[in-house]
Structure formats: C-alpha cells, structure tokens
Amino acid sequence: MEEHVVLVTEKDEVLGLMEKMPAHQNGVLHRAFSVFLFDASDRMLLQRRAQGKYHSPGKWTNAVCSHPRSEESYLQAAHRRLEEELGISTALEEKFHFIYKADVGGGLWEHELDHVFVGRYEGEFRLNAEEVSEVRYVTMEALEEEIRTYPDRFTEWFKIIWEQYKIHLA
C-alpha cells in the first residue's frame, strides 16, 4: 500500500494528501517530524539508514525522521516510528518546528514542516533491518567534527536539522 503525506501551508493548514513518492519528486510542502534521543551522558543517538532505502541509503541521521499519517498527531507519529524503526518506546517532548527544503538526490526533495522532538533512552534496540542498519551514540563535539570533516556521511536533512537544533536548544 502506497504511503501518503499530509500537504500543508506554511501555517500547518491541511491542504490534502499526496502519495509520498510524487510529493518528494515535486518538492511539495508536507508534515514531518524528527526525533533526537540522548543517553544519560547527553550523547546523541544516530541511526544509519538501511541500504535498501529509496533515498539516502547508508547515511547517518538522527534517531527517527518520518511523516505523520492523516489521522495522527505529530507526537503519535513519532512514537509509532520509534517502535517501527528502533523497537523502543520513550517519553518525548516537542521543542520547536521549522520549514526546510533539501535536495536528497535522484530527483527527490524533502520540503517539510518539521516538528522536532527530544527524549532520553538507554536500553536495548530491536532494529528494523528494512529501515535501520545500525545505531550509535556520539558526543555533540564528535558529531560536530564528523559533520564538518565527512559531510557526505550524513543525510541532507539531518545537517539542516542539526543547525536548527543548535540554534534552538544548544
């Protein structure tokens, strides 16, 4: 079954639904969310996207990014994807939202009204191999250095969201 994204205005007013692939081909603004998770030492969890992903395969990104379904709140969708991708559950708090547009290659664009959530997690993961190949925790300093030195290792949207995260929460 084809997934749909919720098309919105810059004020988050719903315009309708569109299949995910055409929305990304046409760079249409739609709802999204990003989850940042930290351990007790304030290290950030990164996930490496599975090699089978239709764009940005094998690249590192934040814990979870995806799109809410039409009947879901941003928070409900974030919890759903934590379970679907990482096999975990944890409390989340929304911190900020912003709009961005990024060329992710292959004629695809992410143009998203992105709500950013933060949580803490220490425990085991049950990774969905179709979504995630591995996870790791990293200090903020090491992440900053790795993004600067090897930017191609990271998804385009994560580099944008990382800059927004530093503006809003660092």
- Just list the catalytic residues: 65, 112
Between CA 134 and CA 51 the distance in angstroms is 11
Between CA 54 and CA 51 the distance in angstroms is 9
73: left (phi over 0), alpha (psi -120 to 50) or beta: beta
Are 86 and 127 a contacting pair, CB within 8 Å? yes
Burial label for 18, CB within 10 Å (0-12, 13-18, 19+), is: middle
The position carrying tokens 């990024």 is: 102
